[in-house]
Chains A and B, each alone.
Chain A
Amino acid sequence: MDLIDKLREIVGERVSASPAERLCYSTDASQVKGIPDCVVRPISTEEVSKVVRLSADLGAPVTARGAGTGLAGGSVPVRGGIVLDMSGMNRILEMDLENLQVVVEPGVVQARLNERLKPHGFFFPPDPGSSNICTIGGLIANNGSGMRCVKYGTTKNYVLDLEVVLADGRVIRTGSRTLKSAAGYDLTRLFIGSEGTLGIITKAVLRVAPLPKARRLVIASFEDAETAGRAVAKTFASGIVPSACEILDRTTVQVLKRCDPNLVLPDGDIILFEVDGTAESTNELAEEIAALCSPTAAQVAMASGAAEMEEIWEARRLVGAAVSRLDPTKSRIYVGEDVGVPIKMIPALIREVSEISERFCIPAMKYGHIGDGNLHVALFIDVLDEDEWTRLLAAADAIHRAAIRLGGTVSSEHGIGTARAEYMKLQWGEGPLSVMRAIKRALDPKGVLNPGKLGLDDESSPPGGEG
């Protein structure tokens, strides 16, 4: 009996080894590629457990995948084997709002969860640009975040408990349903951001937050991105914590206006400051921010109301993929796109990125969660031009190294996957990396869970399955 027959015994027809299917599961939104031997779409923890146990017996790699929106190849089966498409496990199992929590399967799409929570006055704060697409499982496995994380924290702040299938097929719980716990190692956090290398998440208990009564948006435009960056540092230093603080450089603003000509945004490099709370407190904070920005800003304005605010945020969420609107011969390539630095180093990072962009003659659109030091750099090229590819990759490398040099990280929220694996040693040093490797070996001695990721491979790591 071959692998497919054995898998069919577990999941019926929800397995495929067709060339078309394997092709479509061979990448995400990054440039990382790896063809799986087959794809399985489980619908229960039991099925996941059986598939993982089978793969452990056969030594075949297993790579979990949500909506495949990743930007670092985290869900790409670079060593072949089985892709577990978790997006079919998409039920919201429990709305336990008296305890401020919900229980979900990993395939639930972030925005669908928030649609369910909204009428009850709650929300799940981590809100990546891909909110309408990405799954909760993917968010947890990458410790994803988003625009409002500057105030609310990242995904790791909202996971109370996970159900995880381990590399040998055992199923464990990692936490509890209490809002806090001081009982032993924090296994939940161990699996958050582990990119499927330690276990497969099959259920999650998430903490939710009450929706604020009011939000206000301050739109400040500046002569250049560095001045904008300094205004952000000044705002934070004054003690204000905005609920979102985004930078949109002038190129980004052009792209946004191309996508939606009705968008009310000034030209120049813009900072969007959102504050939330009560009507009174938001008015007060918005005025304070406006006053702080005024001396250096070219223009400071307030969004007129909730509708205009949502329009701006909606456009902002998808701007990363929209650079082709400026020039249809150019495509956005997601490399070097997720660096982060301490807030006060932001002006230096912006300066370095601009210099790199000029040095390699690769245009760069800069936007992102500047409030938590996370700058998304959108490099765009003519993908049919090989020379541009070479310069693009060199520019991305320089951006990663600049972030590390400035005391930052190569990934703030998109993850490491394969695309950034080579920087793990540079960012962490051998000590911490060897601890990560030890954890990986302890939990996955055969190296079947998403091998080839996070820069964890060393001489003693087993090579995994067929590529």
Chain B
Amino acid sequence: MILSFAPAEVAPPRPAVLAQLGVPAGAEVPERTALLLDDAAALFAELVAAGGVVEPISAADFEAVYRGEGRNAPDSPVAAVAPRAEHLRLFAVTLGEPLSAEVRRRFEEDDPALAVALDATASVAADEAADALERRVEADLRAGGWDRPDGAALRYSPGYCGWDVTGQRALFAALRPGRIGVSLNASCLMQPLKSVSGVVIAGPLAIHRFPPTYPFCDHCEARTCRDRLRALAKRAAV
């Protein structure tokens, strides 16, 4: 299924863009920085072309996709979570090529401030688009009768948490994101750059809880899983 997203649906919140730029929460933001981010937001709204693709996949087929080229960590969250899933959906989202082209152009024209501000805006927006897709998948599942009050649909991506980036090849072969203009290069990186791919795993909320104590966690600076685990705990409490 092909999806499209309105610019407002993927527009990144200002605090998240500031955080992406290394400005700590609560820090005073000078007017010139605010103006810079306004310019970046306006360019973003003008250039973004957000789209997505999502397809169901069986547990057996996903096992083969996840196995990929056999380079995953011996133990990983996806390996533990996926077998307990009730629904699996492969997905890819992209913000389109014009944004990345504009970032390159600004760098080439010696405007690093707007280039980096736009790049940061787009990076946050790519995650917003993936979040939006994740919400749509969960809503569609529920509309289709997935009746689990304690259920959650969360995404996992190659390149993170022990799922080797070479897994992109098997994922792309199964999903065919070329339909939305996303391709892989020789290093398994996506073009356009501001794209996210992976699997949405739907099942009881509890299956998504895992201790961030895998060997690769020692080197991980992103630590976004901790935010997700906190959000899950909050959701479970409601």
Q: Do A and B bind each other?
A: no
